[in-house]
Amino acid sequence: MKVGIIGAGSIGLLYAAYISKIYDVIIYTKTSKQAAEINETGILLLKGTEKRTSFVKALPITEWKGVEDLTIVAVKQYQLPLIIEKINRLSAIPNLLFLQNGMGHLKLLKEIKRTNVYVGSIEHGALKENSFTVSHNGEGVTNVAVFSGDELFLRQFATKISNEFPIVVQRDYYGMLVNKLMVNAVINPLTAILQVKNGDLIENTSYFHVVKQIFTEISYILNLDQPEEKIQVVVDICKKTANNRSSMLKDIEANRKTEVDAILGFLLDEAILQGKKAPQIENLYYMVKGKEIAGEEFQ
């Protein structure tokens, strides 16, 4: 089986390194320079004290034709429109798996025709060290589900790869993504604004007060059952990833655009649809957007 991976950030590199042990992988990069470096050195995977090099073929994204049996799209949500536009210009793409934070991309996926479309929720921690090196900082699983189409291929793919890289097929894509969103919507923007590690959100009592207030509003918008149990999930993840710096915090520090629209923007859209007020989420959203604007001034 041939697997294409669009995006060579931390997630793209991590998945290419593991999946290439089972399948024939081609990774598609933003630049020709990165593709050349990966072709020369391979992908270096760091995990604890272990180092492992995986040799995969790399090409710039402009050369992607959608001919692989499965294409995994591992780019930021705001990079999807151009990719989906290209997908709809191609004649036939067998299977697509989208790995994005938040849920803002779901409306974009409705535009895709003529193929099986899957979505995923990632529990791994990964850090891109350079153009060909990724550090696997936290082990987890990849939850996947059918967005549209048939699940047979997805189950076959997951079964074969799971001993090397656990993939769990879920039946309800919406519930699966909500469970990840409620965590991301708390941890990512708050750590980005406060500029702290994940664990600080619960270790600092004042920060934890804000966590609880934000989660109450998230629960209200998402109509969560048993919110007192769901917030414990957030607490447990903060403990498990206490020393991690969230992806949104790293984006802000690097003066990059964040995925706040896919995360908090989605929640604000949901609030409007339901006629609900979300003042704390709205304030948090605009604080992150403000950080983005401030970062642009230094570029």
Task: Give the active site residues.
Answer: 180
Distance CA 207, CA 286 (A): 19
- Annotate the chain with three-state secondary structure: CEEEEECCCHHHHHHHHHHCCCCEEEEEECCHHHHHHHHHHCEEEEECCEEEEECCEEEEHHHCCCCCCEEEECCCHHHHHHHHHHHHHCCCCCEEEECCCCCCCHHHHCCCCCCEEEEEEECCEEEEEECCEEEEEECCCEEEEEEECCCHHHHHHHHHHCCCCCEEECCCHHHHHHHHHHHHHHHHHHHHHHCCCCCHHHHCHHHHHHHHHHHHHHHHHHCCCCHHHHHHHHHHHHHHCCCCCCHHHHHHHCCCCCCHHHHHHHHHHHHHHHCCCCHHHHHHHHHHHHHHHHHHCCC
CB contact set of 130 (below 8 Å; sequence gap of 6+):
none
Contact 101, 77 (CB under 8 A): yes
